[in-house]
Amino acid sequence: MSKPTYIAAIDIGTQSIIGAIAEKLPNKTIQIMGVEEVNTRTGAVTEGKVKDVNSILYEIKTMCKKLTNKTNIPINKLYVFSSHLTLDNNYKEWEVLLANVNGKRKESMTLLSMPNLLTPKADIFLTPAEQNNGCLFIDMGAGTTSYILRTKGKDDIKGMVNMGGYLISNDLTYKGLSFEYAEKLKKKLGYAQAKKLEFPNKRVSLNPHGPFDINQSISLQELSTMIEERVNDTARKFLAKLIREGHLSSEGCKIVLSGGACKLKYLTDWYAEKTHLEVRIADAINIINNDELSLSCNQPKYHTLLSMLINATDDCRVEKSSTWTKFFPKGKIDDALDNAIGTLF
């Protein structure tokens, strides 16, 4: 009987870092052994770029420790993804700060960057019929929205806009809400189509901790109108051109939404109305095991992580000693990360 292969991966997002260890099964699915999520510091990742190396690497270290403690599986190789993984800091900071990810100075860890997951995600989440007939796959994160148009016999059309669910919550803060409270209201009461509101005139407090004051409140109509305006603004960056150039006109063409921001109420209806196409949320049921923990990860916010775990090949337990500069010659950090391999001490 062959030894199991365990994959460790983390998805660095604008608002949180999600990590997991999974076993690759013979039937080409994965079984989640452990999953963790930690919040990123505000501003640490913006527009898909790592801005605060110190903060992110501290969270990576925390994530690895939590996953190892939970699963008893050591992490010597770690797959990492951010929507466009780049560093604004000198590469030496990564060398120093990642020295003790495993808590042992002399124990090496290899970092494997996965800079482009849009195409493999489309491969995973689109059905054969959708791939043949034409399908627009939209991956909606907190800080960015990426898309790929897949049509049989034609080159993929893809792109990214630096707008996502984070901006919706940020818009609401201008009404006097804290960002955290804006996030909660967006997820619980916000609609992508204000016209779908059953009680549009109902008001909610801008201050969740004090007594209700009508002068310090916002109507659901106003809340959802602001959300819909941002949804419209984000989609307009790419959708209008695709429609105008006839890329969504083929018979049977559909839209599939993925990513944490796609769970906004009536977002599928919004896209269906604008494009006159069938719209659905991506489903990972065909790539995960049917155990309780794995099934609990069949949510849009885990889609990037799941696609990493499916596409990765290197067992996280395998140690590999090397030098940082072998993979990262001075001044070449972005090129090296885009080429997908780095070694950490």
pLDDT, tens digit only, all 345 positions of the chain: 578 999 999 988 878 889 999 999 998 899 999 999 988 887 777 766 677 777 877 888 888 889 999 999 998 888 887 654 544 443 344 444 444 444 444 445 677 777 678 888 999 999 999 988 899 999 998 888 999 999 877 888 999 888 888 889 889 888 888 888 888 889 899 999 999 999 999 998 888 777 777 778 889 999 999 999 999 999 999 998 999 988 888 888 999 999 988 989 999 999 999 999 999 999 999 999 989 999 999 999 999 999 999 998 889 987 654 333 233 333 333 333 333 323 332
Distance CA 159, CA 161 (A): 7
Domain with CATH 3.30.420.40 in the chain: 5-114+312-344, 119-281
CATH topology of domain 5-114+312-344: Nucleotidyltransferase; domain 5 (3.30.420)
What's the confidence (pLDDT) of residue 320?
Answer: 52
- Note if the pTM is more than 0.85: no
Helix, strand and coil percent figures for the chain, each rounded to 5: 35, 25, 40
Q: Please give the full DSSP string across 145-207, using - where no structure is assigned.
A: EEEEEE-TTS--EEEEES--HHHHHHHHHTTT--HHHHHHHHHHH-BSSGGG-SSTT-EEES-
The single-letter code of the amino acid at 343 is: T
What's the confidence (pLDDT) of residue 83?
Answer: 59
What's the confidence (pLDDT) of residue 319?
Answer: 62
- Give the count of beta carbons closer than 10 Å to the beta carbon of residue 125: 24
What's the confidence (pLDDT) of residue 97?
Answer: 43
CATH class of the domain at 119-281:
alpha beta
